[in-house]
Amino acid sequence: MDINTFIDKLQSYQSKNVFNPWRDYDADTEIGPEAPAVRRENLRRYLELRPNAHYLFIAEALGYQGGHFSGVAITSERILLGQHKAVRPESVLGEWQYERTSKPTSEQLNATQKAKGFNEPTDTVVWSTLQQHGLAAFDVILWNIFPWHPHKEHKLLTNRTPSTPELDVGVEFAKMLLELVPNMQIVAIGQKAADTLSRYGIACKAVRHPSMGGAETFRAQVAELFKKQQK
């Protein structure tokens, strides 16, 4: 398994009410048909920079405000566009030609999204927390058990919980990633992700998901995790 083969397999996936950011294109919300190619190159660069990563932080599914437009899990387009003071795009892709894929003139975007791209608060909390603990950006891979974006029917810019059959498919890609970058310590973001991984026989640590008021607990649990690692 190499990076190009892995991305080709990700790109080939199709399913109802699922947006594949490395394959699919939506004319109403994206810059043009080149958008999936931009996201494929982002993901390829992201993985190329992390061949020896020690940690895999993994959540449940890709969201419309995050990887849907960036092509990188738990990473918003706004981070890549340099619109966050706490998280620099170079931490994600190094020296790179950063491009947005959401359409600045789309009527489906609000004024801030049109100006700065999409933002996912969870992504910002995860990235800033890892940086606060001095963890080298290229020592961590962020991922989702279901690596594509599940959405509600006829509502592309929404999120939904992936079904069990979808997770059955997604976990196989998580296993491929672990073959691509072996020996990573797995940290599940959220109890649902931890329970899902456990059901598939994948051992992991678990931390609170930052959403729904969980940001401070997430930060504290990550701090405790790295404190134990240093002993």
User: Quick check: 104 and 114 in contact, CB under 8 A?
Assistant: yes
**Residue 45, pLDDT score:** 97
**Residue 82, pLDDT score:** 93
Q: Which of 218, 92, 180, 216 is nearest to 205 (CA)?
A: 218
- Rounded CA-CA distance 62/99 in Å is 19
In 13-155, alpha helices (H):
35-48, 67-70, 77-80, 90-93, 111-116, 121-132
Burial environment of residue 148 by CB neighbours within 10 A (0 to 12, 13 to 18, 19 or more): buried
Give the number of C-alpha atoms closer than 13 A to the C-alpha of residue 189, restricted to the C-beta side. 29
What the chain holds in terms of domains, given with CATH numbers, is 3-230 (3.40.470.10)
User: Quick check: 112 and 156 in contact, CB under 8 A?
Assistant: no
Q: Which residues contact 55 (CB under 8 A, 6 or more apart)?
A: 135, 139, 140, 141, 184, 185, 186, 187
pLDDT along the chain (231 residues), means of 10: 96 98 98 98 97 96 97 97 89 94 97 96 92 80 98 97 96 97 96 94 95 92 79 52
User: Quick check: 150 and 64 in contact, CB under 8 A?
Assistant: no
Burial environment of residue 54 by CB neighbours within 10 A (0 to 12, 13 to 18, 19 or more): middle
**Residue 134, pLDDT score:** 67
Burial 216-231 (b: 16+ CB within 10 A, else e): eebbebbeebbeeeee
